[in-house]
Amino acid sequence: MKTKYKNNDHLPRYYNGDTRYEKVKEQMDLLGITDVTTNRQHRNGTVVWQLPIKNNNSGKTFIEVASFSTGYVRNQNSGYSNYQLNKRCESEPQYYETAGFKPGEKLYRKFTTRTCKLIPIEIDRLEYLISYCLKNYYIKRANEVADGKYVSQWYHEHMLENANSPTVTRNLKKISELHDRIYELESQVDVADRKLAETKVRQDVSVIVNGHRYKVI
């Protein structure tokens, strides 16, 4: 298996001996995904993969995703910081009692948050990563070539037809730059979504406690 690190001698044996791991390894080979986990990361229960697709934010680094023993899966290098790829879900509501607007009135504030659905089992995380990468990096960006440069299908075909037209070439170059900018903004949205997931949401409801109805904000 090709790697960019020398200190990962665990790799030859890591994907052998279990049918689910062997299936993941087969899918990795088909997709050109490289395991770049170091021995230290391996001891911590972390698995890091490198995709054969370059990031749009810089165009110099290949996308890396990782699985962590805490149950998280993350993109390691496509945004300003790494961000979670786990599915989102609503947390259990929490209630806080506060004084009402009238004497003796009680209000209950209900808070919920958007949180990540953890994946506690490693092989489940790796299978989820394969599925996520296939959908979000390979299918959505199906025309990424080996060196990571994005070229949409219609752009490629149109360039072949108009290879000798300087005007068309300049215009298509601008369009390609807009493609890169769109993916850069998508990365920023992913980071913003992670921050919003930590924001508490307030909802207004009413509850009955000991036969008395209270307003809940």
Quote the CA–CA distance of 104 and 102 in Å, as a whole number: 6
Strand partners, 35: 49
Q: What is the mean pLDDT of residues 137-145?
A: 70
At 155 the pLDDT is 57
Q: What is the pLDDT of residues 7-37, one digit of tens each?
A: 556 665 678 888 999 999 999 998 899 999 9
Percent over 90 (pLDDT), the chain: 29
Q: Is the pLDDT of residue 169 over 80?
A: no
Task: Classify residue 5: in a domain, yes or no.
Answer: no
Task: Classify residue 152: in a domain, yes or no.
Answer: yes
217 versus 23: the higher-pLDDT residue is: 23
At 1 the pLDDT is 40
At 200 the pLDDT is 47
Task: Classify residue 2: in a domain, yes or no.
Answer: no
Domain that holds residue 52: 11-216
Task: Classify residue 87: in a domain, yes or no.
Answer: yes
- One-character DSSP codes across 100-147: -SSTT-EEEEEEEEEEE----SHHHHHHHHHHHHIIIIIITTTTB-TT
At 57 the pLDDT is 72
CB 134 within 8 A of CB 128: no
Q: Is the pLDDT of residue 141 over 70?
A: yes
Q: What is the mean pLDDT of residues 171-197?
A: 65
Quote the CA–CA distance of 7 and 13 in Å, as a whole number: 14
Q: Is the pLDDT of residue 101 over 70?
A: yes
Query: pTM, whole model, 2 decimals?
Result: 0.57
Task: Classify residue 3: in a domain, yes or no.
Answer: no
At 142 the pLDDT is 67
Q: What is the pLDDT of residues 104-122, one digit of tens each?
A: 777 777 777 778 899 999 9
Q: Is the pLDDT of residue 205 over 90?
A: no
Number of domains forming the structure of the chain: 1
At 60 the pLDDT is 81
Closest residue by Cα to residue 176 from 205, 210, 148, 151: 151
Closest residue by Cα to residue 85 from 50, 128, 140: 128
Percent over 70 (pLDDT), the chain: 58
Task: Classify residue 93: in a domain, yes or no.
Answer: yes
Q: What is the pLDDT of residues 53-89, one digit of tens each?
A: 888 776 688 999 999 999 999 999 988 888 999 998 8
Q: Please name the helix (run of DSSP H) or strand (run of DSSP E) that holds residue 202, with its range, or none.
A: strand 200-203
Q: Is the pLDDT of residue 160 over 50?
A: yes
At 6 the pLDDT is 46
Quote the CA–CA distance of 61 and 51 in Å, as a whole number: 10
Task: Classify residue 169: in a domain, yes or no.
Answer: yes
- The one-character DSSP state at 97 is E
Task: Classify residue 160: in a domain, yes or no.
Answer: yes
